[in-house]
Amino acid sequence: MLLNKMRRKLLLGNWKMNKLASEAREFALASKPLAELAKKNNIDLGVAPTYLSLAATKEAASKDMIVAAQNVHFNPSGAFTGEVSIPMLQEFGIDWVIIGHSERRAYDNETNQKCHDKMKALFANHMVPVYCVGETLQEFEEGRTKEVVGRQIREGLEGFTAEECKDLVVAYEPVWSIGTGKNASSEIAQDICKFVRETLRELIGDTADKIRVLYGGSVKPVNVKEYLSCPDVDGALVGGASLKIDSYEELLRNIL
């Protein structure tokens, strides 16, 4: 419990392929008092807009607001049509990146190996990956959650030192709960987030106690508090409920 209190809570909105840059900017301006409120309460608050909205969001938001990218390429430049590199993000002051979101794993062939390569490049640039892991419905029903999540953690983080991983954030997002309204029970969230931390401990020792592990998947203002009251759940990665400023504000107020 004491260790849990050492980890700052984190509420991160994942906007996916939503919002024009103008809408992102409007949200960012409206979120300024929320960033202040979060800071006062020792909570890290952030959003992950599309690439095209990153600059507008970063410029309009409070400097205390985390503005994360949803993806990045592991090469600094080159013949990779359609990709965006770390230096391109850094030029806009972006130093957080979501890695391995289940939608990218499903639609863009984002393997554990690719996630590993991206995180290696992020660590080398002192940036923060939010590494997403989680099982599909079939894997869940077959009782294979820990096998799948354990492999995602081990393969994704293979060979990294505790020092490299010190700012890492992991998000446990059961695929069957994302955007479905079928959220995992807080018992499941706690059990798997604890398992994530135990697996991290095998890889990086006691640094695992400093790593924030988030739950994601149909997190709403009504259930966010229950998740965050679990000892191993340090925050939430929120899709749908992070899109409207009112609901985003409610999420924050409910975990103060």
Give the active site residues. 101, 173
Site of tokens 């997190």: 219
Q: Provide the minimum distance between the beta carbon of 238 and ligand PGA in the complex, in angstroms, as a whole number.
A: 5
Instruction: Please state the φ and ψ torsions of residue 68, each to the nearest 5 degrees.
Output: -110, 150
Least distance (Å) from ligand PGA to the CB of residue 210?
Answer: 23
73 vs 29, 47, 95, 99, 143, CA distance in Å?
29, 20, 14, 10, 33
d(CA 103, CA 235) in angstroms, rounded, equals 20
Interaction site with ligand PGA (CB under 6 A): 14, 173, 178-179, 216-219, 237-241
**Cβ nearer to ligand PGA, comparing 177 with 204:** 177
Closest-by-Cβ residue to ligand PGA is 239
Q: How far is the CB of 178 from ligand PGA (least distance, A)?
A: 4
Pick 115 or 204: Cβ nearer ligand PGA: 115
CA angle 108, 112, 116 (to 5 degrees): 110
Taking Cα atoms as reference points, which of 256, 255, 213 lies closest to residue 232?
213
Distance CA 37, CA 176 (A): 33
Please state the closest distance from residue 237 (CB atom) to ligand PGA, in A.
4
Element (H, E) at 236: strand 235-238
Task: Enter the tokens of residue 166.
Answer: 């010190």
As a whole number of angstroms, the distance between CA 152 and CA 197 comes to 13
Q: Which of 73, 124, 76, 77 is nearest to 99 (CA)?
A: 73
As measured in angstroms, the least distance from the Cβ of 242 to ligand PGA is: 7
Of 65 and 241, which has the nearer Cβ to ligand PGA? 241
Nearer to ligand PGA, 179 or 231 (CB): 179
Nearer to ligand PGA among residue 156 and residue 240 (C-beta): 240
